[in-house]
Chain A
Amino acid sequence: MPKIEVLTKTFYQNIGRTYTDEQLEEILPSAKAELDGKDEEAGILKIELNDTNRPDLWSSAGLVRQLRTYTGKKPLFYDFFSNADEEFEYGNRIIEVDPNLKDIRPYITAFAVTGKKIDDTVLKDIIQTQEKLCWNFGRKRRSIAMGVYRNDLISYPVKYTAADPDTTKFIPLLMDQELSLREINEQHPKGKEFGHIVSGFPLFPFLTDSEGQVLSFPPVINSAHIGAVQVDDSELFIELTGTVHKDLILAASIVACDFADAGFTILPVKVVYPYETEFGKEVVTPYYFQEPASAELAYINKLLGMELSPDEAVNALKRMGVFAIYDNGTIFATVPEYRNDFLHPVDIIEDVMIGHGMEKFAPVMLDSFTFGRLTGEEEFSRKVKDVMIGLGFQEMMYNYLGSRKDYITKMNVDGSEYIQIANPMTENYEFVRASIIPSMMQSESVSGNAVYPHAIFEVGKVAFLDDDDNSGSVTRNTLGFLSADSDVGFNQISSTVSAVMFYLNKEYTLKELDDPKFIPGRCAVIVSEGRQVGVFGEVHPAVLENWGIQMPSVVCEIDLDLLMKDG
């Protein structure tokens, strides 16, 4: 979840009044936000945003916008959005796109801002917005990357090209010498972080102006000259490149609205593509592409369990910053420029819910009658646990992920039935346990100080490879138990097995077993109703040694799913 920091003073100034923390916590839910902390000294509020489909809320301006309308202030209007029918004046601000970018990083959107000097607060907000948008919404710059430049240094038209990574050179931010694009990927900290997004392509995205001055190497790094924005700059050029056109345009709209809210004038930019896009070959941005959304009032009321009047529904949406009208049983909503999260009428319903006020919804108890029931496996497990407890065993519960060392190497088995994790965070959690026995050995290995005798058991799940299954593996409910003491042995555990099977009402026979984790001749396969349901025996001293266990141990494992099935 994105977390942002806002300057307390500016934040309240922009909302139009000051709130106590408690009051703020009451209205933040309207933005699915919560107060995460505050830094009194720096005058900062830390706020967590929970809705990953509302990137417009991930900035100080966006959050203020939501809270203003929710608390009854008039929504702001934005008069700089072009759409399919209408283009706003873009002057000479044109971006020309290289055809070679089509398969590399095909889209770019941009606009310029003017009319105000950039101060420290604005600059910090821009950087925060850029980070949150590109990281959370832009999938770590893969689908959206944003650059901000000094507009007064740019000679239009700007050229978005595909450049040779080895011969194209410029001085990037934070460096004082020219590097080739490939060198940037290898040497520059941002190159190391984001270079992989484009490094597989023969040509890299590259942004220059008409005189060949470098703006940036998207999505990696700006140039040290045009791309070095400072406090007191008064005109900025903002561009976003990426792979998902709609997301890109939405992100640009969000940033433009934020600048407009801060008092800047937005100057549109035209992008000229050599290839077709969803919005044509020429797109003037900021661009409004959203379709109107609608929901039947009856559906709204059915899902909310309410009987809202048309006015109540319309007003609720208004508090959410959504302009709506009611006509003939249906609420029609105009989607705000900075949002694109209305996929289904239910999305309108949620806004009605929040806008109407959660406190107005009284809980109602369910009145339908249903049967409560545990699974057969759960009921069988409980029977097993009762028997084990009667036999004096302590129930244990273990993690299901572990290391090759614990699950396989120390057990002296080949591990061919083990499911392996493809992207383990550490080798400690690289395998799914296919047997409970290693878990119990681990217990024994860390419990040498616990008073003996040790008698432990677990009823838990294991999963192992099985070609016959659609997923290539199966999960089973399993019983494992272990006894460790100076005088444990095969006969003792055989008696325990016998008691368990007797009270579970299962006949069984024993078969010889050849398994390196047991002492040969002192271990057995349990066969019940023609199926091999388990194994038990004296743990081989070589295995005990691997685990550093100094006490003789006997162990048993039984597949409960197999055992509970009727013959």
Chain B
Amino acid sequence: MEIDVKSLHPLEIKVLLHVKESEQITAKRIISELGYKLGQCNQAFSWLAAKELISESDRINRRQYELTELGKAFNKIGFPAERMFNLLKEYGSLSLPKIAEMLGLDKSDVGSAFGKLSKQGIFGMNAEKMAEIREKILPPDILAARELVMRAVQGPLEEEQLTEDEKKVLQGISKKRGAAGAPFRLAEREEIIYALTPAGTGISKILKEKNITGEELGAVTQDMLADGSWKDKSFRSYSLNSPPSRVLLGRRNPYGEYLQWVKDKLASLGFEEFDGPLVENEFWNGDALFMPQFHSARDIHDVYYVKNPSHAKEIDQPYLDQVAATHENGWDTGSRGWGYEFDRDFTRRQVMRSQGTVLSAKQLPKAKIPGKYFGIARCFRYDQVDATHGADFYQTEGIVLGEDVNLRTLLGLLKMFAEEVAGAEEVKYVPGYFPFTEPSIEVHIKHPVLGWFELGGSGIFRPEVTKALGVDVPVLAWGLGIDRMALMHLGLNDLRELFTPDIESVRMRRGK
């Protein structure tokens, strides 16, 4: 394994520098010789072992006396006998029940401690049946126990390092299996003994060569800056390649970002944005676009009907009369119309907007000439939801009005979109069909990644559409299928993903 010495932690470095080849490396040794805490020792060993700089050479069982919770408490407040001794020292003499009450101990514990120390001649009972002290100091075994407890607070006591006397004391105050509370517990632990590997020896050499001691400074602290303690010291080099931790940040949804890019693009090309409500009526959604009310052309726009209220109160005049007449007999548009009786009830029926062209139609009565408009509109279709169909989705649509616009400027417009919005190199135009445009053109482009595909549909609005809405100049109408490019941009292949509620997948998503 290739090891970068910069990736080593000071705890590791010091161990590597400290031990020599073939020496035993144990926790005990490192704790005593390098002043590590046990936890630091364990960390250093496990890191070094993972890097194969040290390896296990042996395992031994260690017997240790460690403090129980009771033992830790004794360390803080003293042994019962010790506390009784100190209490009597202060008060002279007290009854046993009084002692128990003052120290918050069980009467039986007080009784047994008194009995034990009375035998050793430390305590005695006076004529008033009150306990009192007979010696100036506590007996050696209690003093020894007290000292052992204080030592054990620093860490467990290794059996092999104890004197015979100490062992004897400890055996008396250690918890036996099933026995009542005692300050110590005897634990058996397996300890691993490590040794440097050849790689470890190698790294150790490199460390020495580079004069890395493990004493280099880590993080710059406020204190360091305040007291100047950083001066004359070197800073530890950090590993450049350790994996950075994750940052959660605020950011755009990449699909929204893409739509915004398209909007900015269109605005930069001189288009003014329009928008409108989600709920429409049949008038704007179909009738105004010269789609006959009962013709199969409406089958391709299977729409969602609104239940409440099912009909709009009224349709704007004079457009209702003009559109109705256009459907019936062509009105003043030069058309013969569809030749059926226009249903003025049906036209008020409310639907969820099914095509972005609705907004284009609604813009016509208020449009400037010359004028260029666009909108990215959420639309709704009665469709089985799958990877290529959503219940609601965005459509990008717009119009260009002008005395001089014609088929060839339409092709120019499409070429501009192909190049500016899709980054296409090649463009192909084929006749298309839309109920509201004539002629109609589909634009196919050769996308650098996706190959040939249909970028959008377009055409010149039928005069039945424009004249009935008060516009006398030709109007180019266009729509761009940008979702396919958006999916590619986002590395997705399922339309449903664009509106996923899954937070993690949106966090991880990014544009190309």
Contacts and interface: CB of A to CB of B under 8 A. Distances in A.
A353 B378 contact: no
Interface residues of B, number: 104
Interface string A342-366: 0111110110011000100111111
A127 interface: no
A443 B498 CA distance: 14
A53 B290 CA distance: 13
B402 A368 contact: yes
A370 interface: yes
A439 interface: yes
B429 A358 contact: yes
B267 A397 contact: no
Contacts of A248: none
Contact of B270 (A139, A350, A370, A449): A370
A30 B429 CA distance: 12
Contacts, number: 283
Nearest to A347: B438
A306 B409 CA distance: 11
A53 B251 CA distance: 48
A343 B337 contact: yes
Interface string B493-512: 00000110111101100000
B274 interface: yes
A51 B457 CA distance: 13
Contacts of A424: 304
A166 interface: no
A139 B300 CA distance: 12
A349 B439 contact: yes
B472 to A, nearest CB: 13
Contacts of B71: none
B194 to A, nearest CB: 36
A296 B470 CA distance: 22
Interface residues of A, number: 94
A41 B363 CA distance: 52
A16 interface: no
B362 interface: no
Nearest to A343: B335
Interface stretch (B11-19, B138-146, B379-387): B379-387
A372 B269 contact: yes
B123 to A, nearest CB: 56
Given A52-B296, A373-B273, A447 B412 contact: no
A460 B433 CA distance: 32
A550 to B, nearest CB: 15
Given A372-B269, A396-B253, A419 B248 contact: no
Interface stretch (A116-124, A184-192, A226-234, A377-385): A377-385
A363 B330 contact: no
B356 interface: no
A389 B254 CA distance: 13
A429 B270 contact: no
Interface stretch (A79-87, A469-477, A486-494): A469-477
B309 A472 contact: yes
A42 interface: no
A304 interface: yes
A473 B279 contact: yes
Contacts of B297: 52-53
B159 interface: no
A305 B305 contact: no
Interface stretch (B61-69, B79-87, B255-263): B255-263
B250 A353 contact: no
B250 A388 contact: yes
A137 B330 contact: no
B271 A366 contact: no
Given A1-B300, A53-B433, A364 B409 contact: yes
A400 interface: yes
Contacts of B435: 52-53
Interface string B18-61: 00000000000000000000000000000000000000000000
A394 B300 CA distance: 37
B277 A397 contact: no
B192 interface: no
Contacts of A377: 275
Contacts of A167: none
Contacts of A446: 501-502
B503 A373 contact: no
A331 to B, nearest CB: 14
Interface string B447-490: 00000000000001011100000000010000000000000000
Contact of A471 (B277, B378, B430): B277
B431 A370 contact: no
A3 interface: no
Interface stretch (A93-101, A148-156, A450-458, A536-544): A450-458
Most buried by A among B263, B296, B305, B432: B296
Interface string A288-326: 000100000000001111100000000000000000000
Given A344-B438, A395-B251, A419-B306, 20 more contacts: A1-B300, A52-B299, A52-B433, A137-B296, A139-B296, A143-B294, A305-B406, A345-B334, A346-B438, A349-B438, A350-B431, A350-B438, A358-B429, A362-B411, A394-B506, A400-B278, A420-B306, A450-B502, A451-B246, A471-B350
Q: Which 4 A-B pairs have the closest CB atoms?
A: A305-B408, A305-B406, A363-B411, A372-B267
Interface of A: 1, 29-30, 32, 50-54, 136-137, 139, 143, 246, 291, 302-306, 343-347, 349-350, 353-354, 358, 361-366, 368-375, 377-378, 382, 385, 388-401, 419-425, 428-429, 432, 439, 442-444, 446-447, 449-451, 453-456, 461, 463, 465, 470-475
13 contacts: A303-B439, A358-B429, A365-B409, A366-B402, A372-B269, A373-B273, A389-B251, A392-B249, A423-B304, A443-B503, A447-B501, A463-B278, A471-B280
